[in-house]
């Protein structure tokens, strides 16, 4: 876990995975922490860089200090963390109040989003009286006392049957939160809604939006998600049978599969129309770095500009943007081929292999394969070049 100061408050976050992979930011529900994503993250890391964080007064993040908090404040935290990760655009997934953060991003910052997955949330959640009453009770009674009443509403009955310690564990987690921060977030949910604020926003920048809910969710039942779908111009909605309010905890394998499908690059009708230049350019920047791509573009002239566009569409759009192989796997394949052929691009891809996170042992095995199947001189040259670029001790 790491910490970053945003608007004068210390925010706890985790940033996991290779720098060259697309970024996915995950926002947790009210009263919980970034730990809700622990069983989902391993399925994402081969293809995505993952950023999670604790909301104000939750987990290890500093509490609010009296100011009225808004969805714009929470979205600003997500954007500040995206900047810290060096990502201009990113995927986002949020549950409950985390989904409210996602709605704020759609409403005000859709140009930053690649896709948005909203789970167990709504344009309107509950009503002001309910939230103001809860805020008052939390200030009087405290989260430790309130947790015994609130935590059972998060999960479907079968989740407690499968894990008898689930309630006690999350009661402890909720009780460690800051009472005032929780109360202010309750008041925010009663005050700030997104009715009439979302239509047309996601289509403006072609942001893919997917909604998920749980059939056993008491906090945001399917009807709440259906109303949100209408606000989002008919964005697709899927209800998980037998799941409550937190699918990342109750059905992490299913949720990870669904989330990966949402984030997968839409390559369109490759056979008949090819991949859009913008898709290839996004991937090329992520893998090679924006500075390299900017130099290549700046150096192109009338002779090779069409060639640069072609390799961006084909190599980086149709190949590197395809999710059938991870970028780590494509790096090993590309490095091996270039080493066997002795091409000058090997230097670039040895540097890229480091950015992607290949280990020394993995690179050694790639080049040893080159020696057997492509020739010892080719492998010897590649080993020497890799050492010049800082590989090895």
As given in the structure block, the two tokens for residue 51 are: 């950023």
Per the CB < 8 A criterion, the answer to whether 330 and 341 are in contact is: no
> Which residue intervals of the chain bear CATH 3.40.50.1820?
2-263
User: Distance (Å, rounded) from C-alpha 335 to C-alpha 355?
Assistant: 13
As given in the structure block, the two tokens for residue 370 are: 């080159």
User: Distance (Å, rounded) from C-alpha 63 to C-alpha 285?
Assistant: 37
Would you tell me the crossing angle of helices 179-191 and 97-109 to the nearest 10 degrees? 50
Residue among 122, 76, 115 nearest 99 (CA): 122
Question: What is the pLDDT at residue 275?
Answer: 79
Question: What is the pLDDT at residue 269?
Answer: 59
DSSP per-residue letters across 90-150: EEEEEETHHHHHHHHHHHHHGGGEEEEEEES--SS-S-HHHHHHHHHHHHHH-HHHHHHHH
Architecture of domain 2-263: 3-Layer(aba) Sandwich (3.40)
Residue among 265, 273, 213, 201 nearest 244 (CA): 213
Q: Which parts of the chain have pLDDT scores under 50?
A: none
Per the CB < 8 A criterion, the answer to whether 51 and 71 are in contact is: no
> Which residue intervals of the chain bear CATH 1.20.1290.10?
270-388
The answer for residues whose C-beta is within 8 angstroms of residue 278's C-beta and 6 or more apart is none
DSSP 318: I
Neighbour tally for 204: CB within 10 Å: 10
Local structure of 310: helix, strand or coil: helix
Residue among 164, 159, 22 nearest 89 (CA): 22
- Please name the helix (run of DSSP H) or strand (run of DSSP E) that holds residue 154, with its range, or none: none
- Indicate the Cα dihedral angle 133, 139, 145, 148, nearest 10°: 40
What are the phi and psi torsion angles at 19 (to 5°)?
A: -60, -30
Question: What is the pLDDT at residue 201?
Answer: 85
Residue the block writes with tokens 């998920």: 212
Beta strands in the chain (DSSP E): 2-6, 9-16, 23-27, 49-53, 90-95, 113-119, 208-214, 237-240
Largest CA distance in the chain: 76
270-388 topology per CATH: AhpD-like (1.20.1290)
Question: What is the pLDDT at residue 377?
Answer: 96
The answer for residues whose C-beta is within 8 angstroms of residue 102's C-beta and 6 or more apart is 27, 92, 93, 94, 116, 117, 118, 121
Q: Per residue in 205-235, pLDDT tens? A: 789 999 999 999 999 999 999 999 999 999 9
User: Distance (Å, rounded) from C-alpha 347 to C-alpha 43?
Assistant: 31
pTM above 0.85, yes or no: yes
Q: Per residue in 104-139, pLDDT tens? A: 999 999 999 999 999 999 999 999 999 999 999 999
């Amino acid at each position: 876990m790491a910490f970053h100061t945003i608007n004068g408050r210390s925010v706890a976050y985790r940033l996991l995975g290779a720098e060259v992979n697309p970024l996915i930011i995950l926002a947790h529900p009210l009263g919980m922490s970034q730990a809700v994503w622990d069983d989902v993250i391993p399925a994402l890391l081969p293809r995505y860089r993952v950023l999670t964080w604790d909301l104000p007064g939750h987990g290890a993040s500093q509490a609010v200090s009296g100011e009225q908090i808004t969805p714009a404040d929470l979205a600003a935290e997500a954007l500040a963390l995206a900047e810290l990760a060096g990502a201009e655009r990113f995927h986002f997934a949020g549950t409950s109040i985390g989904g409210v953060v996602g709605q704020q991003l759609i409403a005000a910052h859709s140009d930053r989003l690649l896709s948005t997955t909203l789970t167990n949330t709504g344009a309107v959640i509950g009503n002001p009286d309910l939230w103001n009453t809860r805020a008052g009770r939390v200030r009087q009674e405290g989260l430790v006392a309130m947790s015994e009443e609130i935590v059972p509403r998060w999960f479907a009955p079968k989740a407690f049957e499968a894990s008898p310690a689930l309630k006690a564990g999350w009661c402890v987690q909720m009780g460690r939160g800051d009472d005032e921060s929780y109360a202010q977030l309750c008041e925010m949910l009663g005050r700030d809604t997104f009715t009439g604020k979302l239509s047309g926003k996601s289509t403006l920048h072609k942001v893919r939006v997917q909604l998920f809910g749980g059939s056993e969710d008491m906090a945001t039942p399917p009807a709440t998600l259906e109303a949100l779908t209408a606000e989002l111009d008919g964005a697709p909605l899927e209800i998980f049978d037998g799941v409550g309010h937190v699918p990342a905890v109750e059905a992490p394998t299913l949720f990870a599969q669904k989330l990966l499908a949402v984030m997968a690059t839409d390559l369109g009708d490759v056979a008949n129309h090819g991949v859009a230049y913008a898709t290839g350019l996004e991937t090329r920047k992520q893998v090679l770095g924006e500075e390299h791509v900017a130099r290549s573009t700046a150096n192109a002239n009338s002779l090779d500009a069409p060639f640069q566009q072609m390799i961006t569409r084909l190599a980086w759009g149709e190949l590197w943007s395809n999710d059938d192989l991870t970028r780590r796997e494509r790096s090993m394949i590309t490095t091996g081929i270039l080493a066997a052929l002795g091409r000058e691009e090997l230097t670039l891809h040895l540097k890229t292999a480091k950015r992607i996170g290949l280990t020394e042992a993995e690179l050694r095995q790639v080049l040893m394969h080159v020696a057997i199947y492509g020739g010892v001189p080719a492998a010897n040259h590649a080993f020497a070049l890799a050492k010049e670029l800082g590989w090895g001790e």
